[in-house]
With several copies, the nearest count.
Chain A
Amino acid sequence: MDKKKPKKVFVQGAVPPEKIAQSIANHQSKTNIGAHSIFLGQIRADEVNGKTVSAIDYSAYEEMAEDVFHEIREAAFSEFDITCAHIYHSLGKVKTGELCLFVFTSSAHRKIAIDACNYFVEEIKAKVPIYGKEIFGDETHQWKKNS
């Protein structure tokens, strides 16, 4: 059981697709798993007043964020019968089209994996002190607000 071990969540820059393949492949020896649910956040090229977002520069209150990620994990493992859960979030600059968030939950049954994945995504957005500076093509910026 890896559920108690605090895990490093932050990665520098974008989450590469190969990391996702590797995480999935790592679970093929766990034959009590029947379903995986994955959520990926990707940087959108939003338009604001005629300017287009080209990247988001993420920063965080890292020490507190790692504590909160750990609390969210603990709560998820007590609420959902999941076999494992992995979260990765970017710090630093992530360009449009690249991935900034990777949530991965596994369970014997699909509904549990899916519900737990959604729980992580909502909790992360609501409770973790992470900030994103949306950088436009002309080098100006604005601060991202979650909807």
Chain B
Amino acid sequence: MKVTVKYFGIIAETAGKKEEILDVTQGMSASELKARQIKTYQIPEAESVQLAVNRDLNTEVELKEGDEVAFLPPFAGG
């Protein structure tokens, strides 16, 4: 099952990429994906990272085919 993963700000810099398509197992939750990618890319300050699934801040959902999952560092607008 494929999901699109997007990285922003310092996370994109740390991962060395802005986007990738990942193959994940059926039934994987957003928070499991989060833990996996944080480990893969050694993303620092993991506790401050928020996930958006299909543009909604939410880590408790189970992922579905075609979902867009965004890794968001603390916001810094303005």
Contacts and interface: CB of A to CB of B under 8 A. Distances in A.
Interaction A to B:
yes
A79 B55 CA distance: 24
Interface in A94-147: 100-101, 110, 121, 124-133, 143-146
B42 to A, nearest CB: 16
A98 to B, nearest CB: 14
Interface residues of B, number: 15
Question: Main secondary structure on chain A at its contact with chain B?
Answer: mixed
Interface of B: 6, 8-10, 13, 52, 55, 70, 72-78
A63 B56 CA distance: 11
Given A59-B8, A63-B55, A64-B52, A132 B76 contact: yes
B54 to A, nearest CB: 9
A124 B55 contact: no
Given A129-B72, A131-B8, A146-B77, 18 more contacts: A41-B78, A58-B77, A59-B9, A63-B55, A64-B70, A67-B55, A101-B77, A125-B78, A129-B75, A130-B75, A130-B76, A131-B9, A131-B73, A131-B76, A132-B77, A143-B13, A145-B76, A146-B78
